[in-house]
Amino acid sequence: MSLTDPFTLCIAAIVTLSLLGLPIGHAMIAASILYLYAAGLDMGTAAEQLLNGMYTSYILLAVPLFILAAELMNSGSMTQRLLTFCNAIVGRFRGGLAQVNVVQSIIFAGMSGSAIADAAGTGKMMQTMMTSGNKYPASFAGALTAATAVIGPIIPPSIPMVLYALVSDASIGYLFLAGMVPGLIMGLAQMSIVAWMARRQNFPVEKPVPLREIPRITWNAFPALMLPVVLLGGIYSGVMTPTEAAAVAAAYAFIISAIVYRSISWADTYSSLLRSARTTASIGMLIAGALVFNYVVTVENIPRALAAFLQGYELTPLMFLIIVNLILLVLGCLLEGTTILLIVIPVLIPTAQALGIDMVHFGIVVVVNIMIGLITPPYGLLLFIMTNIAQVSMRALVRDVMPFLIAMLAALALFTFVPDVVLFLPRMFGYQG
């Protein structure tokens, strides 16, 4: 492959433009147009692929709607009421506020579908609660918030699962079901780490909430707690598709915040819409760039060539999954998760299918890998977010996140080697995989 080869020029252009500071989505579009020009193909194909992918995919509508639902919950008092409820349940134990951090992420995971939304939505509140009065070190509080936010896109709904369904044609409904048990396992693993560290470092015990107050606190949080029930109940009862459920989630969050809690103004609503639009636009450009670049990859016949290359080594499905885990864990240290999902995974899917690997199981392994990448140095997007929120050094944050990272890697190994952990729940609902 020479330096003047069209595909080599395309890759070099993506790397160069990205290093110069151009967003990766824009870089992929520009480099793909350069490829089409160098290969003597119609450069208008780039626009055709972009438009066909963005405007004919009903599934992509779920992304901005889940983002909007999370923004509306943060603007209103839903998040605060959920934190109060979690504190009433687990705050009374040693390291109780740290346990609250994990439990609220498990509950919040059923609402937003985004790890970034979970960290940004409750991260500041949990950081303030945990560090006030020097109860917990700021670096530990920030590391815990980053680690618990990873649970968000594993327990449904999940924006990464929506994007995986886009590139793999796997069922979103079954992917959502498959994520529930792994997400809860990861939550329990993190709670176990917190309990161990609480005893070891003598973390404080919060003042117990009187038992007579718990019914009132539960009642105040009940409308917010019902959102995952409405969302998932609607999907699995067949009343609505996952995309329609995303619209219901946004509408429900607005109605509860504006009418039931009366905690959101028109100005807050406008701000939520504006923030959602900005986030959606950034994700949308990345998806657009990936769609155009994936056309280039398809023209170059790379997925089929890779599948033939790997099959030449007579890999077993388990060996292939181990290799995929290693590749994704390394890439997760360097690349943003959505980029991996939209660019790397489509290349690996044909080989996975040829080896008979279940696409739902493969999807959960992929999503867990990508979520672990969010807290893996040196890139770890959640690490950067929490160093800013917690006002601590990256070194201190990485040190405190390591026990949680090790626990999540152990959970990933379980999901990889024991597919029944992932597929148990989908099969109960009729999945034949």
DSSP state of 396: H
> Distances from the Cα of 80 to the Cαs of 142, 290, 333, in angstroms?
18, 37, 33
How confident is the model over 354-372, as pLDDT tens digits? 888 999 999 999 999 988 9
Which residue reads 């959101």 in tokens? Answer: 264
Model confidence at 119, pLDDT cuts 50, 70, 90, reads low
Render pLDDT for 24-45 as a digit per residue (tens, 0 to 9): 788 888 988 998 888 888 888 8
pLDDT at 3 over 60: no
Average pLDDT, the chain: 82
Q: What does the pLDDT read at residue 419?
A: 93
Please tell me the predicted confidence (pLDDT) of residue 362: 95
For residue 264, the model assigns a pLDDT of 84
For residues 180 and 158, the answer to whether their CB atoms sit within 8 Å is no
Q: What is the pLDDT of residue 116?
A: 65
Q: Is the pLDDT of residue 8 over 60?
A: yes
Task: State the pLDDT at residue 120.
Answer: 61
User: What pLDDT band is residue 178 in, cutting at 50, 70 and 90?
Assistant: very high
Tens of pLDDT, residues 44-103: 888 887 777 777 667 777 778 877 887 787 777 777 787 788 778 777 777 777 888 888
pLDDT at 148: 87
- How many other CB atoms sit within 10 Å of the CB of residue 395? 11
The contacts found for 381-387 with CB under 8 angstroms, 24 or more apart, are: 381/116, 381/336, 381/337, 382/115, 382/116, 382/119, 382/146, 382/149, 382/150, 383/146, 385/116, 385/119, 385/120, 385/123, 385/146, 386/119, 386/123, 386/142, 386/143, 386/145, 386/146, 387/142
